[in-house]
């Protein structure tokens, strides 16, 4: 297939799945629920924002916080925000949007289930490493653990995320859960997906603010004077907020939800689909 033919095919595919065509097919209930932009450019924008969130977090750690190490020092702590933003925000947000990809609507759902599970599993591994980084630093420096609101929010998000992954894997990818249980759990799974991401946003923003207060309270240029680091970290926090809110917005749009034809995701777990 030539490049021109490939571009035409891709354009025709997204044209067939545009809001107007889907509304004619009866998939979309009302025109008032139409998103302002197609999913493809939205996903590109989200990808750019996600890379910026991770990259700027890493730049903050390298440029202002002293770099990175894995020895219990403050440089080891710097891995904590990078790993948490990468895992709990960007990868988790990407995994939440997997079923919004138009290519998945007319194809078997199994590959997308596996991709969703794999992304969240990688996110979980990064989160565990991020927790190791912060606890090792605290223990070596004799700093108390789990005393701040940031730590409470973060650990709550991680615990819910762990339960979410285990329950989702057991309910939708393994054959022993009955159909009625899958049907009952699915809306709960969807709700907690958005709830966990909201907790992640709160933990990220409070963590940035907490770090700035620790670093700049007794400095020659206090936080209230907005030195360059404060400007940068505040901007990073706003960028993280925008990324998370856009994910939540996309999840809430009925027009971008995968058509639930015959509820195959409820009736067909992994082992049954594989046979």
pLDDT at position 180 is 85
Return d(Cα 199, Cα 160) in angstroms, integer: 10
Is 19 inside a domain boundary?
A: no
Identify whether 25 is part of a domain.
no
Q: What is the torsion angle, in degrees rounded to the nearest 10, for the CA atoms of residue 18, residue 24, residue 27 and residue 30? A: 90
Q: How far is 40 from 100, CA to CA, in rounded Å?
A: 10
| 20 occurs within a structural domain | no
Answer whether residue 84 is part of any domain: yes
Summarize the confidence of residues 6-22 as an average pLDDT: 47
Flag whether 211 is in a domain: yes
Does the residue 29 lie in any domain?
no
Gyration radius from the chain CA atoms = 21
The pLDDT of residue 8: 45
Q: Dump pLDDT digits (tens) for 30-73.
A: 444 444 578 889 999 999 999 999 999 999 999 999 999 999 99
Q: What percent of the chain has pLDDT over 90?
A: 64
The residue among 97, 59, 90, 81 whose CA lies nearest residue 228 is 59
Query: Residue 47: inside a domain, yes or no?
Result: yes
Out of 12-26, 181-195, 201-215, which region has the weakest mean confidence (pLDDT)?
12-26
Listed residue (203, 211, 187) closest to 78, CA to CA: 211
Range in 67-76, 130-139, 164-173, 238-247 with the lowest mean pLDDT: 164-173
Query: Is the residue at 43 inside a domain?
Result: yes
Residue 76, domain extent: 37-274
For residue 131, name the pLDDT band (cuts at 50, 70, 90): very high
How far apart (Å, rounded) are the C-alpha atoms in residues 121 and 123? 5
User: How confident is residue 15, by pLDDT bands cut at 50, 70 and 90?
Assistant: very low
| pLDDT computed for residue 99 by the predictor | 86
Under 8 Å between Cβ of 200 and 206: no
Q: Is the pLDDT reported for residue 87 higher than 80?
A: yes
> Mean pLDDT across the stretch 148-171?
95
pLDDT at residue 240 tops 70 = yes
pLDDT of residue 259: 75
Number of domains the chain contains: 1
Q: Above 90 in pLDDT, residue 261?
A: no
| CATH number, domain containing residue 46 | 1.20.120.1770
SS3 of the chain: the string is CCHHHHHHHHHHHHHHCCHHHHHHCCCCCCHHHCCCCCHHHHHHHHHHHHHHHHHHHHHHHHHCCCCCCCCCCHHHHCHHHHHHHHHHHHHHHHHHCHHHCHHHCCCCCHHHHHHHHHHHHHHHHHHHHHHHHHHHHHHHHCCCCCCCHHHHHHHHHHHHHHHHHHHHHHHHCCCCCCHHHHHHHHHHHHHHHHHHHHHHHHHHHHHHHHHHHHHHCCCCCCHHHCCHHHHHHHHHHHHHHHHHHHHHHHHHCHHHCCCCHHHHHHHCCHHHHHC
Rounded CA-CA distance 217/219 in Å is: 6
């Amino acid at each position: 297939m030539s490049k021109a033919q490939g571009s035409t095919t891709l354009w025709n595919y997204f044209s067939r799945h545009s809001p107007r065509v889907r509304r004619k097919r009866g998939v979309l209930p009302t025109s008032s629920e139409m998103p302002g932009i197609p999913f493809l450019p939205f996903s590109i924008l989200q990808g750019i924002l996600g890379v910026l969130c991770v990259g700027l977090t890493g730049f903050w750690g390298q440029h202002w916080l002293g770099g990175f190490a894995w020895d219990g020092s403050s440089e080891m702590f710097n891995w904590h925000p990078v790993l948490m933003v990468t895992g709990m925000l960007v990868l988790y947000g990407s995994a939440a949007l997997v079923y919004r990809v138009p290519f998945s609507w007319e194809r078997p759902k199994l590959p997308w289930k596996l991709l969703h599970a794999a992304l969240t599993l990688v996110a979980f591994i990064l989160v565990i490493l991020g927790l190791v980084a912060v606890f090792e630093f605290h223990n070596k420096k004799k700093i108390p653990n789990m005393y701040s609101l940031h730590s409470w929010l973060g650990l709550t998000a991680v615990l819910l995320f762990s339960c979410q992954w285990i329950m989702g894997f057991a309910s939708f990818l393994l054959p022993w859960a009955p159909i009625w249980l899958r049907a009952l759990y699915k809306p709960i799974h969807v709700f907690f997906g958005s709830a966990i991401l909201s907790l992640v946003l709160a933990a990220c923003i409070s963590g940035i603010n907490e770090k700035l207060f620790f670093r700049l309270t007794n400095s020659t240029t206090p936080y209230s004077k907005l030195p360059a680091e404060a400007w940068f970290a505040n901007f990073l926090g706003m960028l993280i907020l925008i990324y998370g809110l856009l994910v939540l917005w996309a999840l809430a749009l009925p027009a971008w939800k995968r058509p639930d034809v015959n509820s195959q995701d409820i009736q067909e777990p992994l082992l049954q689909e594989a046979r």
